[in-house]
Amino acid sequence: LRRCLISMDMRRMEESFRGIKNAIQAKDTFQNVTILSTSETLHSIKPLDVCCVTKNLLAFYVDRVFKDHQELSPQILRKTSSIANSFLYMQKTLQRCQEQRLCHCRQEAINATRIIHDTYDQLEVRSAAIKSLGELDILLAWIEKNHQGTSAA
């Protein structure tokens, strides 16, 4: 079964994240709470569900996190903009997969991302956005691990 793999400029995104990691994580006031890691299930996602979870997580960041963050510092804004626009590009690539019906969403995949949304909703919105940005390395590592190999898109 052909899988839906997206190629991406991972080096650039990791570089951008390293540029903001300390500043963002320093503003994270809820150190004992985690958003992406609560879903231990993220690491138990089956290959069949990778496309759907990727699509949902990109949408989570594009539709919610980056918007809720409301950054003023140009240095940080440049880095988050770089990642946000890269996610937008990846969403477009995934869109083509969906059109080829390679991105089916099973219940397990839907549950995994609902946990993330639920945890996000329990925090004050700016704090939740800062925490999610600070956990981008978890997401980037998961995407890189699950999207290696020849891109079908």
Partner 1 sequence: DGVAALPAPQNLSVQSTNMKHVLTWSPVVVPEEIIHYSVEYQGEYESLYMSHIWIPSSWCSPTQGPECDITDDITATVPYSLRVRATLDSLTSAWSTLKHPFNRNSTVLTPPGMEITKDGFHLIIKLEDLGPQFEFFVAYWKREPGAKEHVKMVRRGGIPVHLETMEPGAAHCVKVRTFVKAIRRHSAFSQTECVKVQGETLPL
- The binding site for partner 1 (CB under 8 A) comprises 7, 9, 11-12, 16, 62-63, 66-67, 74, 77-78, 81-82, 84-89
Q: Which of 116, 109, 133 is nearest to 39 (CA)?
A: 116
- What is 12-33 written as a DSSP string? HHHHHHHHHHHHHHHT---TT-
How near is the Cβ of 84 to partner 1 at its closest, in Å? 4
Indicate the residue among 39 and 54 with the shorter CB distance to partner 1: 54
> To 5 degrees, how large is the angle CA 105–CA 133–CA 21?
135
Identify the DSSP state of 149: S
How near is the Cβ of 108 to partner 1 at its closest, in Å? 29
How near is the Cβ of 16 to partner 1 at its closest, in Å? 7
Indicate the residue among 39 and 146 with the shorter CB distance to partner 1: 146
